[in-house]
Homo-oligomer: A and B are copies of this chain.
Amino acid sequence: MKVHIIGIGLIGGSFALAIKLAFPEAEIYGSDADEENLQKAKELNIINHFSEPKDLQNADVVLIAVPVNAANKVISETLDLVGDETLVLDAGSTKSGLCKAITGHPKRRNFLAAHPIAGTEFSGPEAAIPNLFNNKTNIICEVEKTAFKLQERALEIFQRLGMRIRYMDPVSHDRHIAYVSHLSHISAFMLGKTVLDKEKNERDIFDLAGSGFASTVRLAKSSPAMWSPIFKENRENVLETLNEYINNLTHFKELIENEDFQEVYNEMERTNHIKSILNGIN
């Protein structure tokens, strides 16, 4: 099996490592807009070969794992070059704009729109880990627009990688993912900023930070080059979630201002049942 990976960072690199374990006979080809990343991926043995445009004709699978602002163009240009039997996958965090942009492409049936809910706050091929996708959810959009034989190939790959599949339309995907993923990142980035601004002259204050702060602010280590385009692409939904988050914080602040600590208690208690919902997520 010839697998090409375009964009060999955390996601592309982890996919390469996972494929090698699940399909020992697979040959991995890689390309990246950043020459240094690409060389590193080769040195780390994450890829076997560099991927050239002319090789795409004979590829079995192409995974495109680039920032969402580049994805539409890269996916469209890749589809222009692949063979009739090639499966093209993406892994982007937004789906509406992409699905619309790609809808009329003559090779639309070669493409499967996917979003593996997997990642860490790190980036680049040196952050790749072979079991990143194991036990994670993979959201697939507009599955009916992909050729049946290529759907089957994709599902076999996802199954061997240990992923759960959820089917969803792209508009619902973008709305829900704004809540359960995009908002968490903004919440963490602004928490980090608030504390850094206050404590910039007292670096040793961070000695006082415990595991709770570290956990809540963890996502503020994430890559701006990845996240700025996501917020742009999913602007309307992100603004809605941010409005609601700010309103909730303002209401909580007013309860403290008014010394209504019974209601402060109630607000927290009502949210506590998130315990049961989060069971099973690591």
Contacts and interface: CB of A to CB of B under 8 A. Distances in A.
Interface in A260-282: 261, 264-275, 277-278, 281-282
Contact of A139 (B183, B208, B217, B218): B208
A249 interface: yes
Contact of A208 (B166, B187, B231, B271): B166
A253 B224 contact: no
Interface stretch (A50-58, A73-81, A84-92, A199-207): A199-207
Nearest to A202: B176
B278 A214 contact: yes
B199 A212 contact: no
A183 B188 CA distance: 11
A: interface residue count bin: 35 or more
Contacts of A197: 244, 248
Given A194-B241, A216-B187, A209 B278 contact: yes
Contacts of A136: 210
Given A242-B252, A256-B239, A213 B198 contact: no
A207 B137 contact: yes
Contact of A216 (B209, B216, B242): B216
A269 B228 CA distance: 10
B257 A239 contact: yes
A281 B194 contact: no
- Which 9 pairs, one residue from A and one from B, show the smallest C-beta to C-beta distance? A224-B268, A184-B216, A117-B210, A228-B265, A180-B209, A214-B281, A192-B271, A192-B274, A190-B248
Interface of A: 117-121, 136-137, 139, 164, 166, 176-177, 179-181, 183-199, 202-203, 205-222, 224-225, 227-229, 231-232, 235, 238-239, 241-246, 248-250, 252-253, 256-257, 259, 261, 264-275, 277-278, 281-282
22 contacts: A117-B208, A119-B212, A166-B208, A176-B205, A179-B194, A180-B195, A181-B208, A181-B209, A181-B212, A187-B216, A196-B271, A198-B244, A206-B277, A209-B278, A212-B218, A216-B219, A217-B274, A217-B278, A220-B268, A221-B274, A246-B250, A246-B253
Given A194-B241, A220-B268, 10 more contacts: A120-B211, A177-B208, A180-B199, A180-B206, A183-B191, A183-B195, A187-B249, A211-B281, A221-B274, A231-B261
